[in-house]
Amino acid sequence: PIIKELFGLSDLEEAVREAFGLKRVVIVPGDSDTSEHIKVELGRAGSRVLGNSLSSGDVVAVMGGSTMARMASHFTTSNQMKDNWFVPARGGLGESVDYQANTIASELAKRAGARYRMLHVPDHLSEEAYQTIMQEPNVREVVDMIRGARIVVHGIGDAATMARRRKLKEETMEELVKDGALAEAFGYYFDRDGKVVHRMATVGLRLEDIEAAGLVIGIAGGSSKGEAIASVMRFGHDDVLVTDEAAAIEALKHI
Ligand code: BG6
């Protein structure tokens, strides 16, 4: 009922901003679940927020996913950003090539005239393999850069959808359900209170790096993601949320 009384997207932006204690909320009209055009608009809005936030010398750590891919392909800047770096936030998480963080970091860097580093780490590392890989000077160097990124940009997914997309084992899926996982972001799964209930083993950004980052931007839309967005916002380390109208309305039902 309270939602229906709102009119205009700026009211909705303000309601979401306030509900989740964010610095800024940007909402595009429509529902990206049912329209590719809206998803592109969401990506475009995200790329504008990122472009306007960049300062000289910034390191930007980006995640993967289809929303991030649309953000990257619409990224434009008026000035060349030769001393900016784009890096993937985390190693392999089981995404297809187009949606991998490496691909998105390199695309953004090319479009910005900036520099990038890749992180070539296989998916699903054992503890032993993780320790070995972290001793590689090249990996170590990129990981240090990622962990010190001033800006982090990420998508948000529904937990079950992401668990399937990343082909988690049946028993892990069952555990996720048991633990009440609703959302997935940066390889971490969150319950309705925004508490981490599971994480995927890979190198790169840790939760403490997200907490320490100067600017964390979440980009996600579609009514099916409303509850997931609410749970990641409750985790509480995003500064800016870029979303669509349908997801925003849904998210407000879960405050
Ligand atoms: C990625 C995040 O950026 O986006 C994931 O790292 C998230 O954690 C995913 O689940 C969502 O993907 P998509 O394709 O729905 O934008």
- Residue-wise pLDDT for 140-196, tens only, equals 999 999 999 999 999 999 999 999 998 899 999 999 999 999 999 999 999 999 999
Whether the per-residue pLDDT at 3 is higher than 60: the answer is: no
Residue nearest to atom 16 of ligand 1 (CA): 67
Task: Give me the DSSP letters along 106-166.
Answer: HHHHHHHT-EE------SS--HHHHHHHHTSHHHHHHHHHHHT-SEEEE--EEHHHHHHHT
186 lines ligand 1 (CB under 6 A): yes
Whether the per-residue pLDDT at 117 is higher than 60: the answer is: yes
Pocket test for ligand 1, best of 38, 39, 67 (most atoms within 8 A of CB): 67
Residue nearest to atom 12 of ligand 1 (CA): 65
Sign of CA dihedral 146, 147, 151, 153: positive
Alpha-carbon 218 to chain mean position: 5
Residue nearest to atom 4 of ligand 1 (CA): 155
CA 212/CA 223 separation, integer angstroms: 30
218 lines ligand 1 (CB under 6 A): no
Mean pLDDT confidence for 13-26? 97
64 lines ligand 1 (CB under 6 A): yes
pTM above 0.90, yes or no: yes
Sign of CA dihedral 90, 96, 100, 102: positive
Question: Do the Cβ atoms of 95 and 64 come closer than 8 Å?
Answer: yes
- Residue-wise pLDDT for 198-247, tens only, equals 998 888 999 999 999 999 999 999 999 999 999 999 999 999 999 999 99
Q: How many CA atoms lie within 13 A of 27 on its CB side?
A: 25
